[in-house]
Structure 1
Amino acid sequence: MICLPAMPSDDSSSSANTSSLEQENQVLREEIRLLRQGKKATARRRVQQEQYAQSQERFRTVFENSPLGQKIITPDLTIRQVNQAMADMLGYATEELIGHKILEFAHPDHRPDWHELQTKLWEHRLPNFTLQTCLVRADGSSFWCQVTSVLFPDEGAELGYTVLEDISERKKLEADLKRLYDAQETILQLTTHDLKGPIAHIELLADLLQRELVGRAALLPEMAHYLTLVQQSCIQANTLLQDILYVGDLDAHGLHKQATDLNAFLTARLEVHELAAKEKGLQLSQELPAGPLHARINPAKFSRVLDNLISNALKFTPAGGTITLGLQEHRGKPRLWVKDTGIGIPSKLHGSLFEKFNPTRRAGLHGETTTGLGLFIARQIVELHGGCIWLESREQEGACFFIDLL
């Protein structure tokens, strides 16, 4: 009897076919997924390329059409790219500049400027650097320019994107203003110093005449009055000259500040004015914090601020009034104030009160004159200390001058 091998059942054949089809489908799905990813990646690359091309076009448009000189330099200061404005600035064609070092166009006295830029950017790794330097045109003339250079990566290297602005007119204006300022300062100094001598002589002669009149009863009252007026005029003129010289000194010299106990400082300054206040029937008071409060000031200069403010309060406060010198810590910083119970300051005068030779200045209640420089000097000194000064006042309600320090 012959035995035949068993034939696979229909069920097992169908299962194998199904498994094979699933594997093929899985492979196809994976291929489709990869194709879709590839298409998306290709689309993204295409978008990125288009965006990069648009960015390059925008940069090229700005670079080429900018009214400011623009160039790209390598670490050895070789010009790789330059715009037309830069070429026009130097008087060359663009192709005459590309490949040359910027040092070839630098004024001999200012070549170290470019070495400094080179060091700051490529050695010290500053992201940007700005300087003012002098370049030489093709015709041999020179001009001042402001240079700002920014590091940026390019194909594994770092280049300097550099913008140049012609500032020759600005420099010329600065030089002209300096010459004018120096000339005015010289004239002012000579005038004030030359006037001090004659005024002192007049004052001395008036004093001598007063002494001569002693004992001459018939002539004394009228002549003594005139001589008193002469002496008062001399005092006023001297005060004005001293204020003018003081303003010039503020412009010319810096401040040397030192840590100062403001409580003790304010107390000492108020004592200076006690006699004047007593003579006018005024009371001086203080509002100081319990603990010490310090600030970095120049005591000599800042004394002038307080003296000017207290003197003004003495001039415009009627007898029986009070002048208060105060100090407190405000938002972590010292705040000072000088407050009086005087006649106040009309609001229309507030805007020009701190101006030089203020045209709206007034005489004091007892006829005291002012130079028109006191509050101007006070503001200048406060601002030189990095602070600010302002006032709050209404007519017939007194005035309060505030000072905030750093």
Structure 2
Amino acid sequence: MDLTYSEADQAFRAEVRAWLEEHLSGEYAALRGLGGAGRDHEAHDERLAWNRHLAAHGWTCLGWPTEHGGRGLSLWQQVIFHEEYARADAPARVNHLGEELLGPTLVEHGTPAQQERFLPRIRAVEELWCQGYSEPGAGSDLANVQTKARLVSASSTTEGQWVLDGQKVWTSNAHESDWIFVLARTEPGSRRHEGLSFLLVPIDQEGVEVRPIEQLTGGSEFNEVFFTGARTGADLVVGEPGRGWAVAMSLLGHERGVSVLGQIVGFSRELRGLVEVARGNGTLDDPVVRDRLARATVELEVIRLNALRSLGGTDRPAGADSIAKLVWAGWHQRLGELAMDVLGPAGLTARPGATYELDEWQRLYLFSRADTIYGGSDEVQRNILAERVLGLPREARG
């Protein structure tokens, strides 16, 4: 496929670059570089204001169809925006789960009433969302979900509602969110992928408790969420009741879309920064370190080109998402390990005078331990490739 950009695309890149340069100034200038994996606790309210500023100027939901409030931009223009956003060191947006995951899923599977109720508020960053998938016994094995929901019929005094009981874990930014989309078992006695439903549940209610989990990085962006008689409207099931697995998988497909290209640009910025650290402390003179940095540079360019090919090709290869997740997660984890080798003994201590304040390289190393787990662990991705792509015998499951 042709990986070059047209003149129109280059003009759009100039427009994005100029807008970011103009607007990442004044009250927003100090937000450059803030937020992101392991750092979502940084300046949340200020980044929320910035995200709403983006929305007010038409820089959210770029790929959504225009009839649903988006801009209907091409794949390449979406890629350009994410690349320029990362290159500008703009702050991590707080609306990723709503804009990039739930929104496109509602466009594809939601009812007109659901689309009218939720899409405008997602686009304007008026309501924040989190994802209720993983559970203590159903992390990478998502089909083992045990959270239950039952439908209570309407009466003369109340409308029909779903009533939820169960627990979710590793729920990113639930403590800052207004709503949670939940995969719950709604058919008693069902197993694995059958009998699951995709529900939209308000968080601010008596039956929902959010408990932040403190991480090694010092933040608490992950949470446990407990449902004890939590309620949501009978009409707030996306897709058919009992057929939520297909909706959930559709959403995960959006998770590995064009925003991955912006993530790769962020990785590139981290790598360049690490090269400068190595040059400054002399470790770049070590031929082994120099070779590892060179190898990381080549590998990242291959990852970028493969992502562009997979996203833009008409015949997307089977298992492309799993391959991409395996490759970039392993690369980023190795970058964290390399950062510790470049820092040497300095990487083992917190900043002077701080009780527990990590620098960016320590935080990178600690958070990158999770890269091969979240979003589908390496083991699960390899099983998907082995069983669904290569046709090998299925792994024995209890």
State the TM-score, normalizing by the size of structure 1: 0.19
Higher RCO (Cα < 8 Å, 6 or more apart): 2
Q: Which one has a bigger Cα radius of gyration?
A: 1
